[in-house]
Amino acid sequence: MVAVFSWAHDALRPGLTAATEHAQLLQSVERALDLDVEVSANRWLVERPPLARAAVLLYRFYAVPVLGVLLWVLLRHGGIYRQVRTTAIVMAVLALVVFWAYPVSPPRFALPGIVDVVADDALLGGPASRDLSGGRNLFSAFPSLHVGWSALAAWAAWSALTGAHRRLGLLPWLFPTAMVAVVIGTGNHYVLDVVGSAVLLAVSIGVAALLRAARSGRERLRVR
């Protein structure tokens, strides 16, 4: 699934003009709502190199805890994993539709004064973060899937823990919370991208629940 999603994501190849126009629209909405904190957050992070390095580490390797949580749920909570798997597939499909219909340049391209923290990191950065000729789709800022997949993992862990370990069930949500700070501070996403991620996850959970209900209904009819 991951390979198929990555291929489809990069195959979209949106135009720079449309992505820039959409980014400007997002910026204007954020200014109207007094949510345009990307430049100040980026400057704050750049001035604190140890935190910037930690942010780059989390941004680059966030998939490791995501996959770790999903593997744990698969091995220990099979019923929950089936729900999470369906939700992940719905999320991937819906995200691709949004990326195709509404490409958005990230702040590191579209906002003057933003430092590309990930690209500028001495150990983990590199030109790939800015390279438009490498065949990668770099105009899929909205919604942020770094936040979306992190939130999906947190939801999966919360679902598994809320029964016997209710208090521990709140801890996984620290992961997407940290990711929100990382993607904004590093200049990779807007505040509205994060809002879009929350909406994407909520809609995906709802659609997945409807699909499960429809499948259960068909199975009951076959039994009759």
Domain ranges of the chain: 26-120+137-223
As a whole number of angstroms, the distance between CA 147 and CA 123 comes to 23
Give φ, ψ of 104 to 5 degrees. -140, 130
Residue 200's pLDDT is 98
Residue 209's pLDDT is 92
Sequence-ordered strand ranges (E) for the chain:
none
pLDDT in single tens digits along all 224 residues of the chain: 777 777 777 777 777 889 999 999 999 999 999 999 999 999 999 999 999 999 999 999 999 999 999 999 999 998 899 999 999 999 999 999 999 999 999 999 999 999 999 988 766 666 545 556 555 778 999 999 999 999 999 999 999 998 766 678 789 999 999 999 999 999 999 999 999 999 999 999 999 999 988 877 776 666 65
Is pTM beyond 0.85? Reply is: yes
Alpha-carbon separation of residue 67 from 150, 159, 224 (angstroms): 10, 16, 39
- Calculate the CA 196 to chain-centre distance: 9
Alpha-carbon separation of residue 107 from 87, 185, 198, 210 (angstroms): 28, 10, 19, 36
Residue 213's pLDDT is 85
Q: Which residues of 48-83 are buried (b: 16+ CB within 10 A; e: fewer)?
A: eeebbeebbebbeebeebbeebbeebeeebeebbeb
As a whole number of angstroms, the distance between CA 96 and CA 28 comes to 24
Residue 223's pLDDT is 60
Residue 130's pLDDT is 58
Could you tell me which residues come within 8 angstroms of residue 173 by beta carbon, excluding any fewer than 6 positions away? Answer: 154, 158
